[in-house]
């Protein structure tokens, strides 16, 4: 498995733990990452993405709410919420990662860790977020090719 893919999986799992246990868990995130990340690159990337997502949580959640029409964030499974939060964070705040890579990786994580309908839902929400970011000029020229 690609190390960045593994870092995304570990980051999603850590975000899920934060969602369940609350912000106090952030101080213990290093121990979690050391346990589940196979090497220092995976741990470093995962920690960067987890801390960034958590610091920008309000922005990420607002973008999810805007894209997930007719869905309350609280009604989503914790896994789906964590996948979407990480994906939105990477789309909005990590312009060096191509949008299509972010979305495709999120779909694969949803296939592995969530329910049967989740990959399609994750795809729809993140695609809508990417389209909005492109329209707003945040990610100019980064349209997802389907």
Helix H or strand E segment including 95: none
Please give the average per-residue pLDDT across 52-57, as a whole number: 96
* Spatial distance between the Cα atoms of 95 and 133, rounded to a whole number of angstroms: 11
* Spatial distance between the Cα atoms of 7 and 98, rounded to a whole number of angstroms: 16
Instruction: For the chain, give the mean pLDDT.
Output: 92
Please give the average per-residue pLDDT across 94-108, as a whole number: 97
Q: How confident is the model at residue 136 (pLDDT cuts 50, 70, 90)?
A: very high
Q: What is the pLDDT of residue 144?
A: 47
Q: Give the chain's radius of gyration (CA, Å).
A: 14
* Spatial distance between the Cα atoms of 143 and 112, rounded to a whole number of angstroms: 25
Helix H or strand E segment including 39: none
Which domains are seen in the chain, by residue range? Answer: 3-135 (1.10.940.10)
* Spatial distance between the Cα atoms of 50 and 118, rounded to a whole number of angstroms: 21
Give percent of the chain above pLDDT 70. 96
Q: Say which residues have a Cβ less than 8 Å from residue 9's Cβ, sequence separation at least 6.
A: 109, 112, 113
DSSP letter assigned to residue 75: G
């Amino acid at each position: 498995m690609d190390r960045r893919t593994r870092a995304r999986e570990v980051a999603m799992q850590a975000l899920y733990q934060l969602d369940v246990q609350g912000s106090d868990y952030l101080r213990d995130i290093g121990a979690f990452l050391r346990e589940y990340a196979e090497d220092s690159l995976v741990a470093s990337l995962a920690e960067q993405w987890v801390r960034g997502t958590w610091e920008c949580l309000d922005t990420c959640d607002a973008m999810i709410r805007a894209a997930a029409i007719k869905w309350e964030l609280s009604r989503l499974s914790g896994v789906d919420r964590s996948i979407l939060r990480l994906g939105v964070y990477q789309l909005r705040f990590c312009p060096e990662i191509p949008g299509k890579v972010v979305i495709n990786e999120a779909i694969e994580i949803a296939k592995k860790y969530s329910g049967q309908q989740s990959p399609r839902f994750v795809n729809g929400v993140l695609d809508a977020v990417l389209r909005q970011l492109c329209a707003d000029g945040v990610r100019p020229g980064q349209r997802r090719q389907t």
